[in-house]
Amino acid sequence: MADGHGGHRTPSQPAAVSGPGAHSQRTDGRPKMMDLPDARYGEAANFQEIQQGAALGAAPSASSGGGVAVTPPTGLMDPSQMAGQPVTAGADAGAGPGSDALGLPDQAFTADVKRRLAPLLPYLIRKADDPRASDELRAQVRYLISRL
C-alpha cells in the first residue's frame, strides 16, 4: 500500500452485480442515460433532465419526515384491532357493510363512460398531439387510452 493507494474501496453508490466478461460494466457510477426515440421538440431535453435528476438507489428513510407512515401488520396471534367489525365487512354477503362501502367505481358507470368517450378518442388524441396542448390534457388522454 504505497502512498495510501490500494486495498478494498467501497463504491460510493453501489449498483447491482456486474455481468461476466464482455458484459461487465462498472457498478459504482450513474445509470446509463437513455434516449427518447421519436421525441417532439423539447421532449428529449426534458427527458434527459429528468434522468439526470433521478435518485440513485438511496431509499428514503423513515426519519426524513413526510410520506406515509408504514405500520407493521398485526401478528397472527395478536388481538384484533377491529374487534367490533365482522369478518365479512366489505363483502356482499354476511354481516357488515357491503362492497359499496369500499368506494370502488360503479361498473355500470364506467361502462357508460367508455361508451360515451370511445367515439371521441381520435379527436382527443389529435388535440393531445398539438404542441400547444397542456401536460394535463396529455396525461388525461393517456389515462383514457389505458382504460379503454
AA letter at 15:
A
Residues 121-127 have a mean pLDDT of 91
Is the pLDDT confidence value at 131 over 60? Answer: yes
Distances (CA, A) of 81 to 29, 69, 73, 139: 46, 17, 11, 40
Residue with the bigger pLDDT between 19 and 42: it is 42
Q: For the chain, what are the domain ranges?
A: 118-148
Radius of gyration of the chain (CA): 26
Residues 16-44 have a mean pLDDT of 70
Collapse the DSSP code of 8 into the 3-class scheme (helix H, G, I; strand E, B; otherwise coil) and give the result.
Answer: coil
Nine-digit cell string for 32? 446509463
Residue with the bigger pLDDT between 49 and 18: it is 49
What is the rounded CA–CA span in Å between residue 36 and residue 118? 29
pLDDT over 90 for what percent of the chain?
11
pLDDT at 103: 76
* Cβ atoms of 111 and 80 closer than 8 Å: no
Residue with the bigger pLDDT between 110 and 78: it is 78
Residue with the bigger pLDDT between 148 and 126: it is 126
pLDDT at 129: 92
Beta-strand ranges (E) seen in 12-92 are: none
Residue recorded with cell 427518447: 36
What is the rounded CA–CA span in Å between residue 89 and residue 75? 20
Is the pLDDT confidence value at 59 over 60? Answer: no
- DSSP track, 21-61: GGG---SSSPPPPP--TT--TTHHHHHHHHHHTS--S-PPP
Is the pLDDT confidence value at 147 over 70? Answer: yes
